[in-house]
Amino acid sequence: MNSGPTTARVIDIVEPPPVGAGVLSVALISPDEQRRKAAITALGESRSSQIREFSSYPSGPDEAPWTLNRDFDAVIVDLDSDPERALDLVRRIHTNGLATVMVYSVKSDPDLMRKCMRAGAREFLTLPFKPGAVVEALARASFLRSADRPPKKAAGKLLVFFTAKGGSGVTTLASNFAVSLAQESRQKTLLIDLGLPLGGVALNLGITTEYSIVDALQNIERLDAGFLSSLLGKHGSGLSVLAAPSEMASMQLSDEAVDKLLEVARQQFSYVVVDAGSKLDLRHTHLFDQSATIYLVVQVGLAELRNSNRLISMLSAAGGPKLEIVINRYDSQALEIAEEQITKALTRPAEWKIPNDYAAVRLMQNTATPLIQDDLEISRAIRQMARSVCVPSAAPALRP
């Protein structure tokens, strides 16, 4: 069995193209050397192509990143070496990528041709190639490239819930905020639980998932849109969830793995919410750069205010994330530290104050029913936070 696509060589067949023409990037996939050579010869008639040869089919659904990540304008697949695997590959390229897919075979079989076209092939070529046939097919691919490719999708918003001290309720807030954001925005929203070794997002939302964030971070070389999608759980609100493992998992989070996960997620989702707990060791990742908004969750207590003061100084540095301070379990009638002292410790007023409602939070945790399902003061405050993200113009009027 083939272990995966093997790059034999890259061939540049480039002469100064006509004005307005572009250079096509072409992948040629064939385990058979003779058929591959025949295709190379035919492709040589085109004078504005870069061709990369692959001497085997990918061995599984996750081993074709070179097509799924849009590296190529056209992919030419040999059908005859293994028709079943070739057709499966055509389907995956057509479903997940923007490349124009072509196939070739020694058989001029109408039934096979129909199967290929249903799978997503745009061109069916037969061996031996007729003079000019491949060049004409590439010309059509060039036209499709300019017509079909949409502008590059803007990265989704990255919204990170972080705390200076465990036990501040950051998971409860992140979970309910994400559910509310999915409902209010009606856009694709993902919640990522970075609470290793054990996280509480899935438990809070009543979700059971077969896979977890560990599967994503341990297979980062395979991580693309399709692979990420296979790891996600779904909440009734429409929210997607990349859960923490349900059993104790010990692993070292690398900056590179976390960044790759965030990049893939933000290309697929309009909003990516992250429960980052108190993982300050990830401060060199995208979680803390200027593309992110950090919700710093604070409780009113001397230790938390002191630690939060230090974090705010660090996060307020040039090039850092947008920072919003969230005072959780806020009760103006039971404050043991004056409002003025809280503001001084935090160096600025808090953007958000989430009311203390122990009974509602406890019920949510025991029944896995999101807080925002009820019309409570705490629910309204969380909805206001979510609306400020997807309806920014309403934010000043909505904030408490």
Residue 317 lies in a domain: yes
For the chain, percent of residues with pLDDT exceeding 90: 35
204 and 80 together in one domain = no
Q: For the residues 281-307, what does the mean pLDDT come to?
A: 89
Residue 2 lies in a domain: no
* CATH number for the domain that contains residue 53: 3.40.50.2300
Residue 362 lies in a domain: yes
What is the predicted pLDDT for the residue at 110? 85
Helices (H), 218-254: 225-231
> CA distances (Å), 160 to each of 116, 193, 229, in order?
45, 10, 21
What is the predicted pLDDT for the residue at 162? 93
Pairing of strands 240-242, 189-193: parallel
Residue 28 lies in a domain: yes
137 and 227 together in one domain = no
Residue 1 lies in a domain: no
Indicate if the pLDDT at residue 180 is higher than 90: yes
| DSSP β-bridge partners for residue 273 | 159, 191
Q: pLDDT tens across 63-114, in order?
A: 554 444 456 788 899 999 888 888 888 887 776 666 788 899 998 888 888 8
Pairing of strands 233-234, 352-355: unpaired
* Of 360 and 197, the one with more pLDDT: 360
What is the predicted pLDDT for the residue at 398? 40
Q: For the residues 191-215, what does the mean pLDDT come to?
A: 89
Q: For the residues 298-309, what does the mean pLDDT come to?
A: 87
pLDDT range class, residue 3, cuts 50, 70, 90: very low
52 and 192 together in one domain = no
Q: Residue 95 and residue 106: Cα distance in Å, rounded?
A: 26
The token pair that represents 161 in the structure block = 């819930």
Q: For the residues 329-350, what does the mean pLDDT come to?
A: 88
Residue 303 lies in a domain: yes
Give phi and psi for 281, each to the nearest 5: -65, -10
CB-CB contact of 373 with 175 (8 Å): no
What is the predicted pLDDT for the residue at 6? 43
Q: Residue 205 and residue 190: Cα distance in Å, rounded?
A: 13
244 and 203 together in one domain = yes
What is the predicted pLDDT for the residue at 205? 92
- Residue that finishes a domain, picked among 115, 131, 148: 148
186 and 254 together in one domain = yes
Indicate if the pLDDT at residue 275 is higher than 50: yes
Q: For the residues 229-251, what does the mean pLDDT come to?
A: 87
* CATH number for the domain that contains residue 367: 3.40.50.300
Give phi and psi for 351, each to the nearest 5: -75, -30
- Residue that finishes a domain, picked among 97, 125, 148: 148
Indicate if the pLDDT at residue 379 is higher than 90: yes
131 and 26 together in one domain = yes
Q: Give the domain extent around 111.
A: 7-148
275 and 183 together in one domain = yes
Q: For the residues 388-399, what does the mean pLDDT come to?
A: 61
376 and 242 together in one domain = yes
What is the predicted pLDDT for the residue at 247? 76
Number of independent structural domains in the chain: 2
- Residue that finishes a domain, picked among 115, 148, 181: 148
Q: pLDDT tens across 243-258, in order?
A: 998 777 667 788 889 9
Type of residue numbered 128: P
* Residue keyed to tokens 């060589």: 9
199 and 316 together in one domain = yes
Residue 297 lies in a domain: yes
Indicate if the pLDDT at residue 393 is higher than 90: no
Cβ contacts of 70 within 8 Å, gap of 6 or more? 97, 98, 99
Q: pLDDT tens across 155-178, in order?
A: 899 999 999 888 889 999 999 999
134 and 184 together in one domain = no
First to last CA, the chain: 62
Q: pLDDT tens across 8-38, in order?
A: 444 444 333 333 345 778 888 889 989 888 8
168 and 136 together in one domain = no
Give phi and psi for 14, each to the nearest 5: -130, 120
315 and 173 together in one domain = yes
Indicate if the pLDDT at residue 369 is higher than 80: yes
